[in-house]
């Protein structure tokens, strides 16, 4: 069975919104991109953006923010193009993934994380994802691994020394029974996240006020409060951002998909340090996933160089 490292807190289907947020506009079903002989329509792009568009209805953005979300819009279109290129490879290699296989991977993942169905649903709600959306995302992850298997074979190799080195470098991240209560700001990439962090630290605005005014992620409208999370269930980049912070401090901006996030450590319940044997497999999976993504990105670049792509946005 494929053992892919799926991170709940980084699995949001984040994308950019269209200009003129103050008014809801009818989407004209025009072509926004051509990939070889296939097309991506404006309707398909807007449908992908719908979760964010719904959050931004009636909200007036500054010119800088509009430019930032326009960048995200282009990034989302590029993601759709990449997915189309992967679909070509799936057909070329005649790869199939059945619903039972996808469900088996989800079940395996929950067992590895010792996560109940209720906790799983809580994480999905936090990420504004349905079970159906997560199921399809898992299917794509499996297909991606299988496609790359045809391309790289055994190139993704992680040695024991790499795993041990990673453990020593981030030993403080490996604890059990640790929980953190967080608030989050999620904004388009650019200077906004750093600007808001500076304003919060200068006490020009509170974190809650900044989240309610600017955030387009979970907790918006509730001061950015995303509740209490188990440290073990958090993505590595989240744990890295929180490392060394004391209660009441905020993190440096970091990337969550195409967005920039800032976290406020509202409260922390310290846990018990884990030894190397307890986390060896976990570290291996994280390192394997990182190396896999690097090789897969290179593979996508090759596919793009061979494809005929025309963006009409």
Residues 151 and 236 in one domain: no
pLDDT of res. 127: 66
pLDDT of res. 11: 33
If one counts the domains in the chain, the total is 2
What is the CATH number for 223? 3.10.50.40
Determine, yes or no, domain membership for 5: no
Residues 14 and 152 in one domain: yes
Tokens of 305: 């160089």
What is the CATH number for 45? 1.10.4030.10
pLDDT of res. 8: 29
Residues 24 and 110 in one domain: yes
Determine, yes or no, domain membership for 304: yes
Determine, yes or no, domain membership for 2: no
Domain of residue 51: give its range. Answer: 10-157+283-311
pLDDT of res. 120: 87
Residues 208 and 121 in one domain: no
Residues 85 and 17 in one domain: yes
Per residue, the 3-state secondary structure of the chain, as one string, reads: CCCCCCCHHHCCCCCCCCCCCCCCCCCCCCEEEEECCEEEEHHHHHHHHHHHHHHHCCCCCCHHHHHHHHHHHHHHHHHHHHHHHHHHHHHHHCCCCCHHHHHHHHHHHHHHHCCCHHHHHHHHHHCCCCHHHHHHHHHHHHHHHHHHHHHHCCCCCCCHHHHHHHHHHCHHHCEECCEEEEEEEEECCCCHHHHHHHHHHCCCCCHHHHHHHHCCCCCCCCCCEEEEEEHHHCCHHHHHHHCCCCCCCECCCEEECCEEEEEEEEEEECCEECCHHHHHHHHHHHHHHHHHHHHHHHHHHHHHHHCCEEECC
pLDDT of res. 7: 31
Residues 217 and 238 in one domain: yes
Determine, yes or no, domain membership for 92: yes
From the number of C-beta atoms within 10 Å of its C-beta (0-12, 13-18, 19+), residue 130 rates as exposed
Determine, yes or no, domain membership for 212: yes
- How far apart are alpha carbons 67 and 281 in whole angstroms? 42
Residues 74 and 152 in one domain: yes
Residues 243 and 297 in one domain: no
Determine, yes or no, domain membership for 165: no
- Each of the 313 residues of the chain gets a pLDDT tens digit; together they read 333 333 322 333 333 333 333 334 444 579 999 999 999 999 999 888 877 777 677 777 778 767 777 887 888 899 999 999 999 999 988 988 999 999 999 999 888 878 888 888 877 876 667 899 899 889 988 988 888 877 766 678 899 999 999 999 888 778 888 999 999 999 887 788 999 999 999 999 999 999 998 888 888 889 999 999 988 888 888 988 998 899 999 999 998 877 889 999 999 998 888 899 988 998 998 898 888 888 888 999 999 999 999 998 7
Determine, yes or no, domain membership for 4: no
Residues 149 and 78 in one domain: yes
Residues 51 and 141 in one domain: yes
Determine, yes or no, domain membership for 162: no
pLDDT of res. 102: 95
Residues 82 and 121 in one domain: yes
Residues 297 and 249 in one domain: no
Q: Are 219 and 226 in contact (CB under 8 A)?
A: yes
């Amino acid at each position: 069975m494929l053992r892919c490292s799926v991170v709940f807190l980084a699995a949001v289907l984040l994308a950019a919104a269209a200009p003129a947020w103050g008014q809801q506009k009818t989407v004209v079903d025009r072509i926004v991109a051509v990939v070889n002989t296939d097309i991506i329509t404006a309707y398909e792009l807007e449908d992908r953006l719908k979760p964010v568009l719904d959050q931004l209805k009636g909200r007036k953005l500054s010119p800088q923010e509009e430019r930032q979300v326009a960048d995200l819009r282009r990034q989302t279109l590029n993601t759709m193009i990449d997915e189309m290129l992967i679909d070509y490879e799936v057909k070329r290699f005649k790869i199939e993934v059945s619903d039972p296989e996808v469900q088996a991977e989800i079940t395996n993942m929950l067992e590895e994380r010792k996560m109940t169905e209720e906790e799983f649903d809580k994480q999905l709600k936090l990420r504004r994802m349905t079970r159906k959306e997560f199921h399809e995302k898992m299917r794509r992850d499996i297909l991606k691994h299988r496609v790359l298997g045809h391309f790289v074979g055994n190139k993704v190799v992680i040695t024991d020394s790499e795993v041990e080195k990673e453990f020593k470098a981030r030993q403080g991240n490996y604890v059990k029974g640790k929980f953190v209560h967080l608030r989050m700001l999620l904004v388009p990439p650019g200077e906004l996240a750093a600007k808001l962090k500076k304003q919060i630290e200068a006490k020009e605005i509170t974190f809650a006020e900044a989240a309610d005014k600017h955030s387009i992620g979970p907790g918006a409208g509730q001061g950015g409060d995303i509740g209490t999370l188990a440290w073990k269930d958090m993505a590595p980049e989240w744990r890295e951002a929180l490392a060394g912070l004391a209660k009441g401090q905020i993190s440096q901006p970091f990337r969550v998909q195409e967005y920039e996030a800032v976290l406020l450590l509202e409260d922390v319940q310290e846990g018990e340090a884990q030894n190397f044997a307890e986390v060896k497999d976990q570290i291996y999976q994280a390192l394997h996933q990182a190396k896999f993504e690097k090789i897969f990105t290179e593979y996508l670049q090759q596919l793009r160089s061979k494809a005929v792509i025309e963006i009409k946005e």
